[in-house]
Amino acid sequence: MNDTEPVDHGPDWPSAATSPGEADSASPGEGPAISRRNFLAGTAAVTAALALPLNRQIRSAVHLAPAKNAADDMLTIAFYTTAAGVKPMSGLLAVFKKLTGITVNPIAVPANSWVGFMQAVSTRIAGGQVLDSAQLATEAFLLFEKRGLCAPLDSYVAQDKATVDNFYADIDPHVLANFQALDNVGGTYIMPYGYNVMSMWVNVAMFKKYGVALPNSDWTWDEFLAAATKMASAPNRYGYGIVAPVPGPFTDVYPWVLTAGGQIMNARQSACVADNPGAIEAATFVRSLVTKGLANEPGGSYNFETESAGLKLAMFGGGVWPLLSIPLPPAQVTKEFVILPWPKQTSPGTPVGVGGFPILKASNAKPAVWEFIKWFMNPEFQGPFAADFGGAMPIRRSSASDPALLKKYPPGAINFVSELAHSTPIVGVPNAGAVENEISTVWEQILSGATSPAAGLKTMQDSCNSLMTQSV
């Protein structure tokens, strides 16, 4: 596993830490990949530069007084990052200590995916290392709970009911309902702080150069196809970019399948149901983009950032993370791109992933961990820091829709918020690493022509269901 190199965004941009490479998003030795997980793992570094205003004064709307016996505790918390990525967290964690008297010792756990991170943390715990909490993403919540690694939060939630009620009231109700049903099973174990959806990043400069009108937010696959066709000229210029070397389930598979009315997993995320008409239609459509020369073939070393910055890629998918991945100054990115919802065939759709922190069962400082978790619910953390700390939109609607935050991103960033109404949660299924790899591998085989969409998705369904029965 190789780390990717940070992008130089110029002297006015906070330096981001090198983030772990990712097998389903970036090949070894390449520059930074447009990767949901890489960005989530690496962007904690920017918080040191952004933490200074809160060091001067904080008047929180969420109660942050330390719980009894919590002050002066030392918390050991695992973060999905490299050793270099830990150092810049000190400024933000110093703010937390100033407010509560609690010290956080951040532990770097490099991995090649969120599932890999979860497995690495589980191994550390099994080996006797005591961790108080860990930075988890969607893929790890349920797996940590089922392995008995998380302490229930119910008593803390009851103790701070007003604070939690205020927090829950500010979360999209569709997302909150799904989160509580799928990620907090049999009690409350995780409190979310941020999320990502999949939107379409549209290169305005390229649309203008080739005289293509920008679509509106209610656009369709047909409109997407027409725009891509007008701008593509393979192999030098593409209308749409597929993640290389291997397409990712979250980034490449789910958005197309969901907007075709299809599914990869059932509603309970308990079985793979990929062999369905909507999924077959989606795979057929994306395969046609490759055969027509409108999109790059998977399996190579195609680099989203370089191609989009060089007016050679018109559209690609992403959440908030491409802002730091495109090798242009962020101010230029906000001028040359717009954010649109994913184009639809049958209905709007997007996957949604959520980040959060648990109290790990072995912790001897559980009240102090709860203060840390509560800090992440705080509107004054959510607004200024959530997007930069976790590479995600803040889970509070009021913070995510705040113009002060949205202006950091290209026009249309409010779609990151509006898309939640028709989002599908992605959770960590049993044997998640192998299942994710199977979804990626089969999708690549379909797009490269090694198998037909119908045969490939039948194989995906059968293989994933078999893998989900295996104990790991």
What is the pLDDT at residue 6? 28
Residue 274 has pLDDT above 90, yes or no: yes
For residue 400, give Cα distances in angstroms to 342, 393, 406, 430: 19, 6, 7, 31
What is the pLDDT at residue 18? 30
- Phi-psi sector, 428: left (phi>0), alpha (psi -120 to 50), beta: beta
Q: Residue 123: how many CB atoms within 10 A of its CB?
A: 11
Among 34, 26, 131, 31, CA closest to 80: 131
Residue 430 has pLDDT above 60, yes or no: yes
Residue 25 has pLDDT above 60, yes or no: no
Q: Do domains 36-197+353-423 and 199-351+428-467 have the same CATH topology?
A: yes
Residues 61-88 pLDDT 10s: 444 544 555 656 899 999 888 888 777 7
pTM of the predicted model, to two decimals?
0.84
Residues 289-331 pLDDT 10s: 999 999 999 988 898 888 999 899 999 999 998 988 899 999 9
* Residue carrying the six token digits 């490099």: 110
For the chain, the domains span 36-197+353-423, 199-351+428-467
- Percent of residues, the chain, with pLDDT higher than 90: 60
Alpha-carbon distance 436 to 118, whole Å? 14
Pairing mode of beta strands 199-203, 359-360: unpaired
What is the pLDDT at residue 36? 43
CATH no., domain 199-351+428-467:
3.40.190.10
Residue 23 has pLDDT above 70, yes or no: no
Residues 105-151 pLDDT 10s: 999 999 877 777 888 898 899 899 999 999 988 777 877 888 888 99
Alpha-carbon distance 406 to 393, whole Å? 10
What is the pLDDT at residue 115? 72
CATH no., domain 36-197+353-423:
3.40.190.10
